[in-house]
Amino acid sequence: MGFVRGRVVMVTGASSGVGLETSKELARRGAQVVMAARNRERGEKALEEVRRAARSAGSPEPYLLLADLTDPTATAFLMERVRSRYRRLHVLINNAGGYFARRATTPDGFEHTYALNVVAPIRLTLGLLGRLKKSRPSRVINVVSQAHAAGVPDLDDLQMKRRKYRGFLQYARSKTALILWTRAIAGELGGTGITVNAVHPGWIKTAMGSSNPPTAAAAVFRFATALFARPQIVGSRGPAYLADDEQLQETTGEYFFVTHQRAPAAHARDQELANRMLELARSYDLFAQKK
Ligand SMILES: NC(=O)c1ccc[n+]([C@@H]2O[C@H](COP(=O)([O-])OP(=O)(O)OC[C@H]3O[C@@H](n4cnc5c(N)ncnc54)[C@H](OP(=O)(O)O)[C@@H]3O)[C@@H](O)[C@H]2O)c1
């Protein structure tokens, strides 16, 4: 029997792609899936699919929560809803993420890629730490990307304010930042029964990047994706493995390429950068004052 059967698992970005497939897979494996989505219509459509998967396996009914995770007020409200509805949270899968070709900023002034790919998973993890502690053994899984190898982060310019914004570079850097934080917070939580790991789901045919302007580079990327990327269902393998495999009970602070534990790029293993990321991340905690 796997880890998730009968346990509460929250998946962000559950309305499409890797998040939707992971939600369905974990529902099939007996989890009580809590889906976080941004858009009501897409969220409800996805909920129907996950509900069918859950019912066919005799699993608990999934539940849908809505929030734009780049909005701090909506994120705080989402966490309050999770805390009031669930006394336990055993697995948090921080999957929502994206690649944005144009620079934009969020209501609280973060660059959008950084806000969604780094600040949101940190906020959710720190904000739900109480529930994760009560539910231990528990797991946090951060969906990152092998693209991090191309993104040496500049911790003095995480918002890419000083240099010209380049979407792919910022995407790669954001994933490096999240790997660094994963390693650092895993160290800090060592021995508490909460593990934190990062996973690259593979190159998957999803909607990622589809809202970007139709440039030549975007067309080449879409063409390559159509030729080489794997079907969406494959995207659930890595996150579902990390959530459900009983052997991983003690594994923490690691990077997985789908289901294979690997060393991330050297810059994502830099201890000094990881420590700085950990310090910086404390200021993202929406409930820090209440603690
Ligand atoms: N596809 C790949 O080849 C690949 C490779 C490596 C890593 N990844 C990572 O895998 C994760 C999932 O991506 P995907 O490929 O499945 O892409 P996707 O199909 O575009 O899914 C992204 C999910 O994130 C949600 N999301 C986007 N912005 C949000 C916001 N502001 N607030 C809340 N939710 C938001 C989307 O919701 P909406 O439905 O509302 O847009 C969607 O559910 C990402 O972290 C990505 O970086 C993907």
In a domain, 224, yes or no: yes
Q: Is the dihedral of CA 143, 77, 66, 165 positive or negative?
A: negative
Q: Tell me, using a 6 A CB cutoff, whether residue 200 lines ligand 1.
A: yes
As a residue count, the chain comes to 291
Mean predicted confidence (pLDDT) in 159-181? 96
Confirm whether 86 is a catalytic residue: no
In a domain, 3, yes or no: no
Q: Tell me the CA end-to-end span of the chain in Å, nearest whole number.
A: 37
**Looking up tokens 């380049």, which residue turns up?**
166
Q: What is the pLDDT of residue 291?
A: 62
Mean predicted confidence (pLDDT) in 109-115? 97
Of the chain, the percentage scoring pLDDT greater than 90 comes to 91
In a domain, 278, yes or no: yes
> Is residue 289 scored above 80 in pLDDT?
no
Q: Tell me, using a 6 A CB cutoff, whether residue 145 lines ligand 1.
A: yes
In a domain, 2, yes or no: no
In a domain, 31, yes or no: yes
Summarised one tens digit per residue, pLDDT across range 52-65 is 999 999 999 999 99
Q: Is the dihedral of CA 197, 86, 288, 160 positive or negative?
A: positive
In a domain, 1, yes or no: no
Q: What is the pLDDT of residue 161?
A: 93
Q: For residue 16, how far is its CA from the centre of ligand 1 (angstroms)? A: 7
Q: For residue 199, how far is its CA from the centre of ligand 1 (angstroms)? A: 14
The pTM of the full predicted model, rounded to 2 decimals, is: 0.98
Q: Tell me, using a 6 A CB cutoff, whether residue 206 lines ligand 1.
A: yes
Summarised one tens digit per residue, pLDDT across range 63-110 is 999 999 999 999 999 999 999 999 999 999 999 999 999 999 999 999
Summarised one tens digit per residue, pLDDT across range 192-244 is 999 999 999 999 999 898 889 888 878 888 888 999 999 999 999 999 999 99
Q: What is the pLDDT of residue 288?
A: 83
64 Cβ contact partners less than 8 Å away, ≥ 6 residues apart? 14, 35, 37, 43, 44, 46, 47
Q: Tell me, using a 6 A CB cutoff, whether residue 50 lines ligand 1.
A: no
Q: Tell me, using a 6 A CB cutoff, whether residue 258 lines ligand 1.
A: no
Q: What is the pLDDT of residue 249?
A: 95
Q: Is the dihedral of CA 266, 271, 272, 275 positive or negative?
A: positive
CA 224/CA 222 separation, integer angstroms: 5
- Place 148 in a pLDDT band, splitting at 50, 70 and 90: very high
Nearest atom (ligand 1) to Cα of 146: 6
Q: For residue 96, how far is its CA from the centre of ligand 1 (angstroms)? A: 5
Supply angle C-alpha 203, 205, 206, rounded to 5: 110
Residue among 10, 12, 16 whose CB has most ligand 1 atoms within 8 A, to mutate:
16
Residue ID of nearest Cα to ligand 1 atom 1: 204
130 Cβ contact partners less than 8 Å away, ≥ 6 residues apart? 83
Structural domain of residue 157, as residue ranges? 8-290
Whole-number average pLDDT of the chain: 96
The count of structural domains within the chain is 1
Furthest C-alpha separation in the chain: 53
Higher local confidence (pLDDT), 138 or 153 = 138
Residue ID of nearest Cα to ligand 1 atom 20: 208
Q: Tell me, using a 6 A CB cutoff, whether residue 69 lines ligand 1.
A: yes
From 99, 171, 241, 255, the catalytic residue: 171
Q: Tell me, using a 6 A CB cutoff, whether residue 116 lines ligand 1.
A: yes
CA 69/CA 92 separation, integer angstroms: 14
Mean predicted confidence (pLDDT) in 176-180? 98
Query: Where residue 72 sits, what CATH number does that domain have?
Result: 3.40.50.720
Nearest C-alpha neighbor of 125 from the set 133, 107, 74: 133
Residue among 204, 222, 233 whose CB has most ligand 1 atoms within 8 A, to mutate:
204
In a domain, 210, yes or no: yes
40 Cβ contact partners less than 8 Å away, ≥ 6 residues apart? 66
In a domain, 147, yes or no: yes
